[in-house]
Structure 1
Amino acid sequence: MIEGMTLAARKAGYSLSIYSTTPDDDPVESVQRQLQARSTDGLIITRLVSGDPRVKLLLDQGMPFVAFGRTDLDTAYPYVDVDNEQIAYEATRRLMDKGCRRIALQLLVPEDQASAMRLSGYARAMAEAGIPIDQSLIGHGMFTMESSAAWFDRLLACSDPPTGLACANELGLLGALHALGKRGLAPGSDVHIVTRDSTRLARFLPAKIEVHSVDMAAVGRKLVEVLESRIINPLGPVETILLKGEFEPAE
């Protein structure tokens, strides 16, 4: 995504500066520093949370910006997002088509709006199939490889383990595969997996995994395009773009 943003910004005559924060940092303070420095033409904000205060702050200050992601505010604001709700819905339905009824779901931290959308899609698919949600099958976390492996191994050790898994990302996938391997279980037969994979990593793994891929370089380009239009015309139409994941069946 950063590569896509960098190339698009360069093409439009801008330079891209990256200001990263740790989970312990206050992201509002980072935005406030940029506003006080008055050294930027516009901002791209990421990792939106519920009621994200950065959106209201930037709207109030009149700073051109675009969000990568959405938040639950009534005010219109420009964003580019991936349709995580539909991706999770389709993943859950495809696992059901494989005969899975015990379906585990990986989510990031609960405050992350992308996780809220994934949970909504999963819940919709489960409700349509008349399958009650078992909260023990829903995992929240940053899902490094280690934490994913530990979480999924605990589920596999249960008396009624999952037969399907909707992975949050590639790191979560690798951890889950490690847990399966330790127990001598095979993805695609013992446990079916559908994952979101923005790096196309899954296609190089010797395992039957179904994938929703997203072209993150294209996301980065689109973010810069929307931001450039806000810089040029701050009072113009508010663009909102929702990008779909492309499904790739297991080979």
Structure 2
Amino acid sequence: MDRRRTEKNDETSAQGRPTLKTLAFMTGLGVTTVSRALKDAPEIGAETRRRVQLVAKQIGYRPNRAGVRLRTGKTNVISLVLNTEHELMSFVSDIIYGVTSVIADTPYHLIVTPYSRSQDPMDPVRYLVETGSADGIIISRTQPDDARARYLLERGIPFATHGRTDMGLVHPYHDFDNYAFANEAARYLAGMGRRRLALLAPPVGLTYHGHTVNGFADALSEVGVSEVPFNTVTIDQSIEQIRTRTAQLMRRNDRPDGIVSSAAASTLAIVAGIEDAGLELGRDVDVVSKQSSEFLHLFRRELFVVNESFRLAGSELARSVLGWIGGAAPGSLQSLSKPSGVLPYRG
């Protein structure tokens, strides 16, 4: 009875919007046959399924979401939960691109669930779960002991984290190897003869802060160079705060001659601060930075960069969530991308 009701709802959706009746008329098939062909029902022949799905794509048919949810209990929604005050637009656009590139040929579509600094990060996650608004959830700014991940695991909600946790619990994630990035960047600067290195790190409390700091510290110990503390700001601070603090740091007698930066936007501020102090990038100090879009070499060719792909992160996170929804073991849905090495843009 419920299935007949939801199919009827789909037949009579808003005027001007293609419906099951539209598809039935255009293909010469019955409404029930069209409905089952769209769901890849095995009793419908492969050629019929292909023809119905092709026509549906050509005319822009979309199933009635309320009907789908009533019939299957699914929303066909993946939600990407983002802190809109901390995530830069390049991160947002690239990770959305990555997610949508994976779900484009599936019944799923993406909604972005934003929250702000004034909110508890748990609020949007609780809302999605309590209202049943999504079949799967992607979260970022992951913490070592992340209450959101624990909450979702306890409720059996498919999800993936951008970044790892350290809770001893198994869940899907995609992460960039920030330990390797910071370690290799520091070694690279030491190999260039730089002996006093500073690190502009991610904010304390996020998992990749620890990975970055540990990779940097281990490299310094192994290659025998010293650290100049640069811990009064993080990449979450404003451009002006980072610029001012860099200029202050570079005016000291024991200033660093090499800097590792964890974000491209922060690197712009670091370079401005270096130049405010009357110093020259590439002569007085070298900088190795992560970037997600290949623009730093256009800003200053003296910079050394390592690429981190947020598009790759988005696609891997989408695959992880869809895999869990499809029944794969969460432990099999984990991925870690490695830095490709320090890339000089000097020619």
Range class of TM-score, shorter chain? over 0.9
In structure 2, distance between residues paired with 1:164 and 1:143 = 20
After superposition, the C-alpha distances for 1:52-81 in whole angstroms (9 at most, x for unaligned) are 111111111000011110111111111100
Q: How does 1:113-128 map to 2 (within 5 A)?
A: 113-128=207-222
The answer as to 2:339 corresponding to 1:249 is: no
Of structures 1 and 2, the one scoring higher in RCO (CA 8 A, sep 6+) is: 1
The answer as to 2:261 corresponding to 1:170 is: no
After superposition, the C-alpha distances for 1:174-222 in whole angstroms (9 at most, x for unaligned) are 0011112223322111110100011112121233111010222122111
The answer as to 2:184 corresponding to 1:54 is: no
Between the two proteins, the alignment pairs up a number of residues equal to 250
- Does the CA contact (< 8 Å) of 2:196 and 2:226 recur in 1? no
Specify the SS of the correspondent of 1:11.
coil
Specify the SS of the correspondent of 1:16.
strand
Give the aligned partner of residue 301 of structure 2.
207
In structure 2, distance between residues paired with 1:208 and 1:66 = 37
Give the aligned partner of residue 10 of structure 2.
none
Worse-superposed segment, 45-54 or 227-236 = 227-236
Give the aligned partner of residue 17 of structure 1.
111
Specify the SS of the correspondent of 2:284.
coil
Specify the SS of the correspondent of 2:110.
coil
Give the aligned partner of residue 41 of structure 1.
135
In structure 2, distance between residues paired with 1:118 and 1:50 = 13
Output the amino acid matched with 1:83: D
Worse-superposed segment, 4-13 or 202-211 = 4-13
- Does the CA contact (< 8 Å) of 1:92 and 1:126 recur in 2? yes
Using the size of structure 1 for normalisation, the TM-score is: 0.94
TM-fit CA distance, 1:133:
4.0
In structure 2, distance between residues paired with 1:221 and 1:158 = 44
Give the aligned partner of residue 137 of structure 1.
230
Output the amino acid matched with 1:45: I
In structure 2, distance between residues paired with 1:52 and 1:236 = 17
In structure 2, distance between residues paired with 1:116 and 1:86 = 12
- Does the CA contact (< 8 Å) of 1:167 and 1:173 recur in 2? yes
Using the size of structure 2 for normalisation, the TM-score is: 0.69
In structure 1, distance between residues paired with 2:304 and 2:330 = 40
After superposition, the C-alpha distances for 1:124-171 in whole angstroms (9 at most, x for unaligned) are 10111234544x334542133212101211111212111000011111
Q: How does 1:163-202 map to 2 (within 5 A)?
A: 163-202=257-296
- Does the CA contact (< 8 Å) of 2:97 and 2:311 recur in 1? yes
- Does the CA contact (< 8 Å) of 1:194 and 1:210 recur in 2? yes
- Does the CA contact (< 8 Å) of 2:170 and 2:330 recur in 1? no
The answer as to 2:192 corresponding to 1:94 is: no
In structure 1, distance between residues paired with 2:154 and 2:251 = 51
Q: Which of 209, 225, 234 is the aligned partner of 2:319? A: 225
In structure 1, distance between residues paired with 2:314 and 2:330 = 21
Q: Which of 248, 263, 269 is the aligned partner of 1:154? A: 248
In structure 2, distance between residues paired with 1:46 and 1:29 = 14
Specify the SS of the correspondent of 2:332.
coil
In structure 2, distance between residues paired with 1:102 and 1:132 = 5
Are the structure 2 counterparts of residues 211 and 165 from structure 1 closer, same or farther at C-alpha, using a change threshold of 3 Å? same
- Does the CA contact (< 8 Å) of 1:167 and 1:196 recur in 2? yes
Unaligned runs of 5+ in 2: 1-94
Are the structure 2 counterparts of residues 237 and 70 from structure 1 closer, same or farther at C-alpha, using a change threshold of 3 Å? closer
Q: How does 1:65-84 map to 2 (within 5 A)?
A: 65-84=159-178
